[in-house]
Structure 1
Amino acid sequence: MSAEAVGRHMPTVITLDDLTAMMAEDEHHRYEISPDQVLSVMPPAGYMHAIIATRLTGWLLAAGIPADRIAQTVGLRIPGAAGSTGGRIPDLVVWNKAQADGVWLPVTDVLLVVEIISPGSEATDTVAKPAEYAGAGIPQYWTIGQDSAQTVTMYRHEGDHYLPRATMPLAWVLNADPAEHDLH
């Protein structure tokens, strides 16, 4: 089916319910929408992407962060200007308390969002998402590259944007205490 044919069937404004329905019908893609209504369609994560997320989750669990405060690939409602709402699916989220069940969770209790940068997602993960997450007031944002060092760049929320706090290989992070990163 051509992009033109798909476009004829798309609603003029895509809601989070629309995204949920799209994902239920298409297990081969992940759908997100910015608060400005920019639709992103991504293939599922690859093996290395999944291993990085699993290693980071294991580190958090081993440090005593309860499992009900850590989630991989869960939807977040991202508030935007003029009452608009986007939906992003970070690779890992850490909350300060357990959340109620749902597909699109609020950002109010989020401590950290992690995005593992995949080929093709660099601009979204390093420009668009940090601006949206900072605008939502999420205290910390980390990106992890899929380079040989699996470079982690940690950002801290300052004012209305993020400032880089540290950059190091994932192996260094996994040998540190998560308490050093205000995750408890």
Structure 2
Amino acid sequence: MTNGYGAEQVVTDCGIDVGGGGHQPDLSVWAKGRPPRPARSSYAGTAGLLLAVEVVSRGSEIVDRVIKKTEYAKAGIPRYWIVERDGVTTVHRHSLNAETGEYELDPDGAQPLAWLLSTVPAIA
């Protein structure tokens, strides 16, 4: 188990089809019994995808904070977390607003990674 999710649900090497192309998040979490499946391309479709996580690296700030965030929202991925490489490794948790089609920062959205690793985050 990985923080309450089965090993088959937590994937580190899976490209996601976001329509018109794809991205490979640093980590993705899938619904139980709904592993990644190929879509129109060599990338997996978004059916069953609960969460995409990106770790911001020097040089990827704009891609992770703007481009991927926008494309993941358009693809309907319910949650997007951005992990900062700051002193506490802050995780900014976003949820998709069904009405606007954009991500909103969760009310308690910024948490240190250590806190998230010691809990079972509700993402289903």
Mean Cα deviation higher: 156-165 or 65-74? 65-74
Partner residue of 2:23 out of 88, 92, 102 = 88
Bigger helix fraction: 1
Who wins on radius of gyration, i.e. which is larger? Answer: 1
Q: How much has 1:110 moved relative to structure 2? A: 0.7
Give the corresponding residue for 1:74: 14
Alignment TM-score, normalising by the size of structure 1: 0.59
Matched, 1:61 2:61: no
Partner residue of 1:133 out of 69, 72, 84 = 72
User: Deviation above 4 Å: which 4+ runs of structure 1?
Assistant: none
Give the corresponding residue for 1:147: 86
Cα distance in 1 for partners of 2:28, 2:3 equals 16
Task: Give the length in aligned residue pairs.
Answer: 116
Give the corresponding residue for 1:110: 49
Q: Aligned AA for 1:67?
A: A
Query: RCO (CA 8 Å, sep 6+): is it higher in 1 or 2?
Result: 2
Cα 1:119–1:104 change in 2 (3 A) is same
Query: How does 1:1-184 map onto structure 2 within 5 Å?
Result: 61-63=2-4, 65-79=5-19, 85-96=20-31, 97-100=34-37, 103-158=42-97, 159-165=100-106, 166-178=109-121, 181-183=122-124
Q: Aligned AA for 2:105?
A: P
Q: Aligned AA for 1:130?
A: K
Q: How much has 1:174 moved relative to structure 2? A: 1.3
**Gap runs ≥5 in structure 1:** 1-59, 80-84
